[in-house]
Homo-oligomer: A and B are copies of this chain.
């Protein structure tokens, strides 16, 4: 079938070992033989079979990436950061998505380890006490979390709690005192919980009441009617909304718009993610910006370090508040009382 190292060796009149060396350690072979080999390689358009090499060597130069999906631009941006920086170091990337499903996470990790990836970059639903992660830690295969901000595992992430707190502070600073949080499924994402804690921090330090967050199944493309009702009712609605992620913020903004609620005139909104695309909107989405591409790149840098034998390490990347169009100061309404 495909031409192998043997064909090349035969044509070049050398042994297969020489072919291998000519290709991998050219310095170790006499220029004239090297040329003969390279000519043969060219003539046969020989493409070394990486499987053979990978099976034989310790390194595969393959890394596995496990993400909830790559439909959400957050993960697309991050994946871009991972792929392009890994490519620079000559590593290839295998991607598996989990749709926030624990059993799919397990399956992905298992498959990737079977493929003998050199390392793993992953976002899991819940990092704390994740059995697979602990197993990974023991297995000796380097790994790096992204987005999961965990004290016990190497990760590259923003500090979700502080970041969320800063986002909510922006709303507080604009005079809002009835701030609700809208989030994806809290049970399916430790980040969502951390961000809710940040919300509570900010609301608490302002002397306001932390309300129970409104949970939305993240796979929904539309806002459930009862939630919309809650948000659209002028007599009862919050003056500001903090959303656990940008996609959710966009979905709710659309729903509100369709219900005749104006953003930010009637209600202010702050998202979380810093989607590049959010900045292009009208009005631009106020959000807690996290450097998604850099998060991916940082994760790779850390992972590469571990692959090179350095101890595992984490990065808490800086977040930034994009105080943009969807936040407006609260216009005091003498008829409404802002205190609980």
Contact = CB atoms under 8 A, between A and B. Distances in A.
A252 to B, nearest CB: 9
A229 B150 CA distance: 48
Given A250-B281, A279-B254, A280-B253, A116 B49 contact: yes
Contact of A79 (B70, B92, B263, B283): B70
A280 B275 CA distance: 13
A92 B116 contact: no
The winner among A47, A51, A110 for most chain B CB atoms within 10 A is: A51
A47 B251 CA distance: 42
Chain A, interface size: which category? Answer: 35 or more
A111 to B, nearest CB: 7
Contacts of A15: none
Nearest to A292: B71
> Chain A: interface secondary structure?
helix
B70 A83 contact: yes
Contact of A282 (B84, B247, B263): B263
Interface stretch (A94-102, A123-131, A163-171, A199-207): A94-102
B114 A49 contact: yes
A49 B79 CA distance: 26
Interface string A60-100: 10000000011111011101100110010000111111010
A115 interface: yes
B49 A51 contact: no
A275 B110 CA distance: 33
A116 B87 CA distance: 18
Nearest to A112: B92
A335 interface: no
Given A94-B93, A95-B95, A279-B254, A293 B84 contact: no
Contacts of A284: 254
Contacts of A60: 51
A94 B92 contact: yes
A57 to B, nearest CB: 10
Contacts of A257: 282
A80 B76 CA distance: 10
B280 A250 contact: yes
Given A94-B93, A280-B250, A114 B70 contact: no
A257 B55 CA distance: 56
A151 interface: no
A110 B90 CA distance: 13
Contacts of A94: 92-95
Contacts of A80: 69-71, 97
A52 interface: yes
27 contacts: A47-B114, A48-B114, A50-B115, A50-B116, A51-B54, A51-B55, A52-B55, A55-B55, A70-B76, A70-B80, A70-B83, A71-B77, A71-B293, A73-B277, A76-B79, A80-B97, A84-B99, A93-B94, A93-B95, A93-B96, A94-B94, A221-B276, A250-B280, A254-B279, A254-B282, A275-B277, A282-B282
Interface of A: 47-52, 54-55, 60, 69-73, 75-77, 79-80, 83-84, 87, 92-97, 99, 110-111, 113-116, 221, 247, 250-251, 253-254, 257, 263, 275-277, 279-284, 293
